[in-house]
Amino acid sequence: MKLLNFVTVLGFLKKEFVQVLRDPRMRIILMVIPMMQMSVFGLAISTEVKNIKLGTIYNPNDSVFRRIEERSFSSKWFIPAIGRGTLNDLNSDPLEQIRSGRADAVLISPPGGITKAIERGEGTVQLLIDASNVIRAQSIERYMQSIINEVIRDEFHIVAPTPINFDVRILYNPALESAIFMVPGTMAMILCIVTILLTSMSIAREKEMGTFEMIISAPVKTWEVLLGKTIPFILIGLINAASIYMLAIIVFKVPMKGLYWQLAMATLAFIITTVSIGTLISTFAKNQQQAMMGGFIFLFLSNLLAGIMFPLDNMPLIMKTAAYMNPMTYFVKLLRNIMLKGGSPELVWTYVGILVAMAMFTATVSYKRFHHTLD
């Protein structure tokens, strides 16, 4: 068997690196911006609902209600609504408060106060919630319910447990902190922007500039061109990943319960897959603009369908299928599992295998689509 000659591939590597790194602005985009994004999104994004503006309508004599209100504002969840008044103040029409955005929810005491209402046997407190944001609405109800449960316990000294009780243990994230959960998703999003955009535009750029013609006027083999055009970006992606991981683990104290080689393997698989997809896009694109649009569509769809922002389990079958054909879905699961749960081998090998299969599939199609002639 002839020994494979990597001269051409090496030549490509040199050229691509020189081109990419020569432009100082490109250097910033590749190295600095992902770190910046990690910092911003790592600190900013959480699914936890806080600072909920709570309006209250009650009679000043209603001591129980006051206790509920105190508890709410001293919890980390609720803050007073903007410009809240009392029942007699016209400004405090609850509907108006919510519509204008001064309050996210309004808690209304029963007429005569809670204590009297309980004596009547109808101790109902009404909670009006702005349900235009479903996520917030769900949380608001839950939080308020737990506050009221606490107040009930304290006010009415109920000691005896109900017949059936649950001993609840929350695993992996006992405090239900959301930042930790979000970081893997954010990392995945940041990583693949660079790989997809660089690779998808790379071949399209050469076609537009005319240098592609020059390349295929030489007797180069497809694998030489494809490897030459993908390896540099894989390396750049890996360096990116390393810096993002360091930032996340050291600065944001994201746990790393699993093994580093698992992380490395998963990252490599994902980067190779996204670079492969970018290359595939560039075999379809005739110019840079089309490559960009293709890259954008892929990025947008994969970001939305990766289980980062919305739960995948509840999607209709078609969408779920699409989500399970999305490499980002698997990478996010891998990151979460490896970093937060310690990396169950069964899961890690399965998902890495799936990513590798995707990479091989897209690489094969790119290979077949690569023309050595100008058509």
Contacts to other proteins from residues 285-314, by CB under 8 A: 288-290, 292-293, 296-297, 299-300, 303-304, 309-311, 313-314
CA distance linking residue 85 with residue 94, whole number of Å: 10
Contact string (CB under 8 A) for other proteins, positions 181-210, x = contact: xx---x--xx--xx--x---x---x---xx
CA distance linking residue 200 with residue 289, whole number of Å: 10
> Which residue's structure tokens are 């497809």?
222
Question: What is the size of the binding site for other proteins (CB under 8 A)?
Answer: 135
Q: Cβ of residue 309: shortest distance to other proteins, in angstroms?
A: 5
Confirm if 191 and 272 have CB atoms less than 8 A apart: no
How far is CA 42 from each of CA 37, 254, 308, rounded to the nearest angstrom?
Answer: 8, 10, 13
Q: Which of 2, 3, 88, 163 binds other proteins (CB under 8 A)?
A: 163
Confirm if 259 and 331 have CB atoms less than 8 A apart: no
Rule CB under 8 A: say whether 24 interacts with other proteins.
no
Rule CB under 8 A: say whether 341 interacts with other proteins.
yes
Rule CB under 8 A: say whether 80 interacts with other proteins.
no
Q: Cβ of residue 140: shortest distance to other proteins, in angstroms?
A: 9
Q: Cβ of residue 30: shortest distance to other proteins, in angstroms?
A: 9
Rule CB under 8 A: say whether 243 interacts with other proteins.
no
Q: Cβ of residue 305: shortest distance to other proteins, in angstroms?
A: 8
Rule CB under 8 A: say whether 159 interacts with other proteins.
no
Nearer to other proteins, 182 or 272 (CB): 182
- Of residues 93 through 112, those in contact with other proteins by CB under 8 A are 95, 98-101
Other C-beta atoms closer than 10 Å to the C-beta of 223 total 14
**The two structure tokens encoding residue 227:** 């490897």
Q: Cβ of residue 275: shortest distance to other proteins, in angstroms?
A: 16
Nearer to other proteins, 48 or 66 (CB): 48
The values of phi and psi at residue 80, to 5°, are -65, 145
The enclosing H or E element of 257 equals none
Rule CB under 8 A: say whether 58 interacts with other proteins.
no
Rule CB under 8 A: say whether 259 interacts with other proteins.
no
Rule CB under 8 A: say whether 257 interacts with other proteins.
no
Rule CB under 8 A: say whether 216 interacts with other proteins.
yes
Q: With CB under 8 A as the contact rule, which of the stretches 85-93, 152-160, 230-238, 265-273 interacts with other proteins?
A: 152-160
Q: Cβ of residue 257: shortest distance to other proteins, in angstroms?
A: 11
Torsion of CA 314, 319, 322, 324, to 10 degrees: 10
Q: Is beta strand 78-80 parallel, antiparallel or unpaired with respect to 105-108?
A: unpaired
Rule CB under 8 A: say whether 35 interacts with other proteins.
no
Rule CB under 8 A: say whether 334 interacts with other proteins.
no
In degrees, rounded to 5, the angle at the alpha carbon of residue 339 between the alpha carbons of residues 334 and 343 is 60
Nearer to other proteins, 33 or 361 (CB): 33
- Of residues 113 through 132, those in contact with other proteins by CB under 8 A are 114, 118, 123-132
Confirm if 96 and 59 have CB atoms less than 8 A apart: no
Confirm if 178 and 50 have CB atoms less than 8 A apart: no
176 burial class (0-12, 13-18, 19+ CB within 10 angstroms)?
Answer: exposed
Confirm if 228 and 11 have CB atoms less than 8 A apart: yes
Maximum distance among all Cα pairs of the chain, rounded to whole angstroms: 94
Q: With CB under 8 A as the contact rule, which of the stretches 54-62, 241-249, 267-275, 284-292 interacts with other proteins?
A: 284-292
The enclosing H or E element of 78 equals strand 78-80
